[in-house]
Structure 1
Amino acid sequence: MKIVNWLLLISFGALLIYASLGLPNRGDGDAVMHREKSPAGSWGASSYYIRNAYRDAETLNMVTVILADYRGYDTLGEETVILTAGLICYLVLRKRRTNRDDKKPLKAGADAQT
């Protein structure tokens, strides 16, 4: 079983390395993500956000404009997921008292209180 695990781990690592070879170099100015126009000739979304962020929202912080105005519903959904996960973690990990009155475990059998 250990051999299978190691083979899967090595295979997955090799796949990740092979996939990373197709990524552009860091800081490459000619990478697709840094172009103002797509290969099809249309303007990229990032250039629209950079040029029109202040005009659309009248806020100096461009990150706030993108998260709150342009992607408001998406951000709200992400925050809802994080809040739900936090509540679930709290409910699962909280300590429960067995008996609220005297903090002793409940007894079963003939001597149990009614």
Structure 2
Amino acid sequence: MAKIQQALALAMVLTTGALLILAVTLTMPAFGSFPQRQIGESAEDAIGQQILENAPEQTGAANVVTSVVWGYRGYDTLGEATVLFTAVVGVVMLFRVARRSE
């Protein structure tokens, strides 16, 4: 009975994974075609172009990359750092428990 449950669970996981991969690949745009989001009527008014031109002055950063990461996406970067820190702490705790049990 346990072997049947394991086989069923494995089949469900593989089917779900295959469906997710299929859904992602079918909904992705063609490689290299990035849609520009425009603010105004022309392509020169695209958001990316405005960020390239105005980011260092608006945020006070030294370059465009720093201004995007810390100025425009600061909360996102803080969240990513928090997730990374939590993952490292979790791995350290797992290794510590494994070492004590030996």
Confirm or deny a common fold (TM above 0.5): yes
Taking every aligned residue pair, what percent have the same amino acid on both sides? 27
Matched pairs, number: 90
- The match for 1:9 is 14
* Structure 2 unaligned spans of 5+: none
1:71 aligns with 2:82: no
Name the larger-Rg structure.
1
Change (3 A) 1:91 1:49: same
Q: TM-score, normalised by structure 1?
A: 0.54
Q: AA paired with 2:27? A: G
CA RMSD of aligned residues (A): 3.3
1:19 to partner: Cα distance: 4.1
Please state if 1:83 is matched with 2:85. Answer: yes
Structure number with the bigger relative contact order (C-alpha 8 A, sep ≥ 6) is 2
Residues 79/6 of structure 1: CA separation in 2 closer, same or farther (3 Å cut):
same
| C-alpha distance in 2 between matches for 1:59 and 1:6 | 52
CA distance in 2, matches of 1:45, 1:73: 20
Q: TM-score, normalised by structure 2?
A: 0.59
| 1:34-90 Cα deviation digits (max 9, x unpaired) | x2417x96x654333222122222422x22211111122221222122112212321
Please name the residue that 2:62 is paired with: 59
Taking the aligned partners of 1:86 and 1:8, their CA distance within structure 2 comes to 27
